[in-house]
Amino acid sequence: MRVSVRAVLGRGAHDYSQLTLDPTRFDVESGSDFSIGGHQVVLAATDQPLDSRHGSLLRDFVRRGGGLVLLHGTLAAWSSSEAIRDLAGWIPSGPGPVTELIVRPETGHPVTQNLDSEWRVRDELYLSEGPPLDANILLRASWQFTEQVVAYERAYGDGRFVYIGLGHQPATYQDLTFQKLVTRLLLFAAGRTAAAPIGVGLIGYGAIGREHAASITAVSGLRLTSVCDLSAERREVAAREWSIPTHARQQEMLDDPDVGLVVVGTPPSAHLNPVLAALHAGKHVVCEKPFAVSVDEADRMIGAAASRNLALTVYQSRRWDPDYLAMRDVVRSGRIGEPFYMESFIGGHDHPCDLWHSHEPISGGTIFDWGSHYFDWILQLFPDSVRTIAAQAHKRVWHDVTNADQVRVDMTFAGGAQAMFLQSDVAAARKPKWYLLGTQGAVTGEWADQPVPSDFPSRVKVFRPDREELLILPPREENGFYRNLADHLAWREPIAVTAEEARRTVAVMAAATESIARGGAQLEVDI
């Protein structure tokens, strides 16, 4: 159910008209007057003073259960109102100069759940000696060796008062953390709060199972509840490492009402049945990548989740790799113009492992391993529909495994762009990880000089006709996938990896597999 918001946005020293709210979450009525009847929250961002009558009106609105959220300079502009001073419990002094601020969320409040421990934003900070003692501080920033409060909330009567000190310039309103914070605080001021932490059951406790367990336990809003595995030895390890119950049969886990989310970490050919069983049991589901080994399987899982209004996502964890994020941001910024050609590579000259990953009937084949990450990246960078796919495979060296030694997939998109993926276990010389051309520049990703380069971010360079630049990569967002999922379940924030996106990746890989079976034929598709 959407929240009804009365937005009082003014112009003056600050242009607050840049503020936008998600129309799927909020019904917003904007205006300079105070027609607040029928609304749950008033959001005010203005430099104009407030007369005493409107101040009293707002105080009564909050006392009766409404929410009042003030942005940036609004509290200072309204400081002459006794009613607003009463609501706020303090008044900030003047602002300092615009500069980069290091903002640190306070932990333990549902609104700050899973925000980065440090957030850098260029903005203007209103200084003060501190909010009232009964305030719940949300954000702080260091200012000339003092701790300044950036945001806080406090109860007043049956309602809630919220102050967010940021919002001086348009760039702040485009900041994703700021947008997330404003959304959460509007919901919180309307009486909504984050859902309770959800219990998580993990099916499959191999090497990737440990990775899932470690991430789940590190993220607010999720609780690792139990592990299911056919192996008694792995169950014993899981019980010892996490002090949780384990199960040999998945139905025992699915019957547990404390489990609200199930992570399916089985091999690819065994994803379908446990995912469907968990969805039929009313559980949200994370499926390990690749999502499925056929489009039909993906469609069955998506249909089951949709019919029960349950979350279904796929563990495309490399969406959060720093080198990919750097390349994505370059493309989105338009720095290299329109991207139209991409080559990508993973591999070396190494004997494949002898685990299920190298056995095609279980893994889906070479394309379904690293391809699930690379095609996910490619489809994020080239949003047009895929129109042709052709693929070739070689089997020349490693005859003790069933996966191909090398696969190459060529794709064209509706707009004419081209992309190529090459995975090889017989490549004595490595190609760059990425080679991306745009109409005004290029981006390359050179492998790190490490024994296992795929475990490290590549060196990303941006080329323009007259210069080149080695990018400084952003820090890795630890547990980014599960932080996003926890926030989706708690606050209904957009899920980063949708099942429909993962289905597109499966469709590309399935078409490439068919092309190989048909001798490298070019297939006409619409993916």
Helix (H) / strand (E) element for 299: namely helix 295-308
The CATH number of the domain holding residue 107 is 3.40.50.880
Last residue in a domain, options 280, 315, 350: 315
198-203 and 261-264 strand pairing: parallel
Residue 182's nearest CA partner among 525, 523, 509, 491 is 491
Handedness of CA 444, 446, 452, 457 (dihedral sign): negative
Distance CA 366, CA 393 (A): 9
Longest dimension (CA), the chain: 84
Last residue in a domain, options 189, 211, 235: 189
pTM: 0.93
Distance CA 251, CA 39 (A): 46
Residues 423 and 458 in one domain: yes
Residues 380 and 259 in one domain: no
Number of domains within the chain: 3
In a domain, 446, yes or no: yes
In a domain, 48, yes or no: yes
Axis crossing angle, helix 207-218 with helix 480-491, rounded to the nearest 10 = 50
Question: CA torsion 247→248→250→251, rounded to 10°?
Answer: -80
Residues 53 and 128 in one domain: yes
Please give the pLDDT value at position 301. Answer: 98
Kindly report the number of other CB atoms within 10 A of residue 270's CB atom.
Answer: 15
Strands (E), 322-453: 339-347, 386-394, 406-413, 418-424, 434-438, 442-446
Distance CA 419, CA 379 (A): 10
Sequence-distant (6+) residues with CB within 8 A of 293 are 268, 269, 271, 364, 368, 506, 510
In a domain, 487, yes or no: no
Distance CA 61, CA 195 (A): 26
Residues 168 and 262 in one domain: no
The 10s digit of each residue's pLDDT in 125-163 is 988 877 888 999 999 999 999 899 999 999 999 999 999
The DSSP bridge partners found for residue 444 are 435, 461
Residues 283 and 329 in one domain: no
The 10s digit of each residue's pLDDT in 290-319 is 999 999 999 999 999 999 999 999 999 999
In a domain, 163, yes or no: yes
Please give the pLDDT value at position 13. Answer: 59
Which residue's entry shows tokens 């996966």?
A: 403
Please give the pLDDT value at position 35. Answer: 82
Structure tokens at 258: 């404390």
User: HEC string of 189-246?
Assistant: HCCCCCCCCEEEEEECCCHHHHHHHHHHHHCCCEEEEEEECCCHHHHHHHHHHHCCCE
Name residues of the chain where pLDDT drops below 50: none
Residues 126 and 219 in one domain: no
Please give the pLDDT value at position 364. Answer: 83
The CATH number of the domain holding residue 373 is 3.30.360.10
Residues 310 and 326 in one domain: no
Q: What are phi and psi of 413, to 5 degrees?
A: -110, 165
Residues 310 and 348 in one domain: no
Residue 52's nearest CA partner among 10, 15, 82, 30 is 82
Helix (H) / strand (E) element for 275: namely helix 272-280
Last residue in a domain, options 299, 315, 331: 315
In a domain, 97, yes or no: yes
Residues 352 and 250 in one domain: no
Contact 194, 115 (CB under 8 A): no
In a domain, 484, yes or no: no
Residues 211 and 287 in one domain: yes
What is the chain's Cα-based Rg?
26
In a domain, 486, yes or no: no
Residues 474 and 332 in one domain: yes
For 370, the domain range is 319-479+506-524
Locate all alpha helices (DSSP H) within 32-165, ordered by sequence. Answer: 52-63, 74-77, 82-88
Cα 308-314-320 angle, rounded to 5 deg: 135
Residues 308 and 334 in one domain: no
